[in-house]
Amino acid sequence: MKPIEVKKDIYWVGAVDWDIRDFHGYSTYKGTTYNCYLALDEKVVLFDTVKKGFLSDLTHRIHNLIEPQKIDYLVVNHLEMDHSGSLPEVIELIKPEKIFTSPMGQKAMMAHFHYKDWPVEVVKSGDTLNIGRRTIHFLETRMLHWPDSMFSYFPDDKLLISSDAFGLHWATSERFDDQVDPSELMHHAAKYYANILLPYSPLVAKLLAQVKEMGLAIDTIAPDHGVIWRGDPGRIIAAYDRWSRQEAVAKALVVYDTMWHSTELMAKAVADGLQDEGVCVKLMNLATTHRSDAITELLDAKALLVGSPTLNNGMLPRMADFLTYAKGLKPTGKLAAAFGSYGWSGEAVKQITEVLKEMKLEIVDEGLRHNYVPDHEALHKCRELGQKMGQAIKAAGLAPAGVRCHCSQG
């Protein structure tokens, strides 16, 4: 229950959730953290709170530094319940003199908590708050990833408290990027981006340009989830730059579901064809792969190949789930094609192709179907589909996937 010093007199006082395995559809198979930061100055400021049920973690850590009732100000950078679920209890405990939040934060706070007498004060981009030796600068980051999202920046400490941005779901005893395995770190960061921020990529790109233009000196980024970037914050900024442009490498994701292994045989033959062309392939069966892990692999893939047999005149339910999820995340600039086995009606491939078109992906082939179990000739056609896609990927002149093929890392 120790607080961890991030900068002189600025501490991490959050909670580690080792048990959470589902985050509204995102598989958090290694848990997460709910980060909060406490600045000790002439005014004592707490940045964000924790999910409901983790109040004791927060208050015990604060108690190691100061009586919670001595906190003067609360800054609410984000209203999603993983950071605000304990807000009413925190307010009741510390009775803050003021609560600072963005204009949209105030609306969200009212809509969530229907408060009457909280001392809420709205701050906008460019507003500052002097707390003694330090001044906090606020920057609204609307839709990154909620309308209320906001950054808090300490120029003298070169510290950016970045809310959900630059975060990752990973429960660790370590609090900093330079204390954990760098490969696993970037995998979790990529997964977080792919599953949370991908639809807002144009706004991420705009924000990165804005931060550059403002010339903000940053040597530490303290997000609301996962480790704090102090060893190499440039690495995650560079990764966000690539991910926000949806930069792809010579890699394809073949994602499928299967009833009696016929579509699985087709998927493997498609993957063989891609490999014939020297393209890195990730082959993922939705029966054993979580949708959020498949999306992570899609982040830097140039092509998406989707396979499903036909069941009751449609695609298999797990594929419908995946495509609904993928469509909402708005991946762009990718090539696509569908395939699948069928018995008598065979609508799945056409339906999948329609969804891929709705996603505005570039259809390289109108789809490959096979009646019942594919024989050698049918598998050869699947392989040719893979080769055709592989050639289209190569024509895009992309960098080889290399080691990044294995985990979408930066």
Matching residue, tokens 């809420």: 120
191 binds ligand FEO (CB under 6 A): no
Question: What are the Cα distances from residue 268, in Å, to 81, 164, 274?
Answer: 42, 38, 10
Contact 134, 156 (CB under 8 A): yes
Give the range of 74-82, 113-121, 126-134, 381-389 binding ligand FEO by CB under 6 A. Answer: 74-82
* Among 17, 48, 57, 82, interactor with ligand FEO by CB under 6 A: 82
Do residues 9 and 134 touch, judged by C-beta distance below 8 A? no
Residue 309 in tokens? 């047999």
187 a catalytic residue: no
Give Cβ neighbours of residue 5 (< 8 Å, ≥ 6 apart): 11, 12
Asked if residue 264 binds ligand FEO (CB under 6 A), the reply is no
C-alpha span between 340 and 319 (Å, rounded): 12
Site for ligand FEO in 136-155 (CB under 6 A): 145-146
Residue 83 in the binding site for ligand FEO (CB under 6 A): yes
Stretch that binds ligand FEO, among 59-67, 77-85, 184-192, 345-353 (CB under 6 A): 77-85
Stretch that binds ligand FEO, among 79-87, 184-192, 279-287, 324-332 (CB under 6 A): 79-87
Taking the complex as a whole, how short is the minimal distance between the CB of residue 162 and ligand FEO, in angstroms?
A: 11
Place of tokens 């606020």: 138
- Contact string (CB under 6 A) for ligand FEO, positions 153-172, x = contact: -----------x--------
Catalytic choice (164, 264, 293, 300): 164
CB closest to ligand FEO, residue no: 80
Kindly tell me which of 86 and 258 has the beta carbon lying closer to ligand FEO.
86
Q: CA-CA-CA-CA torsion for 318, 323, 328, 332, nearest 10 degrees?
A: 150
Catalytic residue status for 114:
no
Strand 37-39, strand 10-12: pairing: antiparallel
Candidate residues 224, 264, 293, 297; the one interacting with ligand FEO per rule CB under 6 A: 224
Is residue 112 annotated as part of the catalytic site, yes or no?
A: no
What does the alpha-carbon distance between residue 354 and residue 254 come to, in Å, rounded to a whole number?
A: 17
Cis check: omega of the bond before 145, within 30 degrees of 0 = yes
Q: Is the Cβ of residue 266 or residue 295 nearer to ligand FEO in the bound state?
A: 295
Compute the distance between CA of residue 163 and CA of residue 151 in angstroms, rounded to an integer.
Answer: 6
> Any contact of residue 78 with ligand FEO (CB under 6 A)?
yes
DSSP H/E element including 122: strand 120-122
Q: In the complex, what is the shortest distance from the CB of residue 244 to ligand FEO, in angstroms, rounded to a whole number? A: 18
Residue from 17, 48, 57, 82 carrying the catalytic annotation: 82
CA distance 299 to 301: 6
Stretches 35-43, 78-86, 186-194, 371-379: which one binds ligand FEO (CB under 6 A)? Answer: 78-86
C-alpha span between 65 and 176 (Å, rounded) = 20
Verify whether residue 225 is a known catalytic residue: yes
User: Using CB under 6 A, which of 134, 175, 188, 225 touches ligand FEO?
Assistant: 225
From first CA to last CA, the distance across the chain in angstroms is 32
State yes or no: is 24 an active-site residue: yes
Residue with tokens 């392939």: 281
Minimum distance, C-beta of residue 120 to ligand FEO, in the bound complex (Å) = 20
- Catalytic residue numbers? 24, 78, 80, 82, 145, 164, 192, 225
**Contacting residues toward ligand FEO, per CB under 6 A:** 78, 80, 82-83, 145-146, 164, 224-225
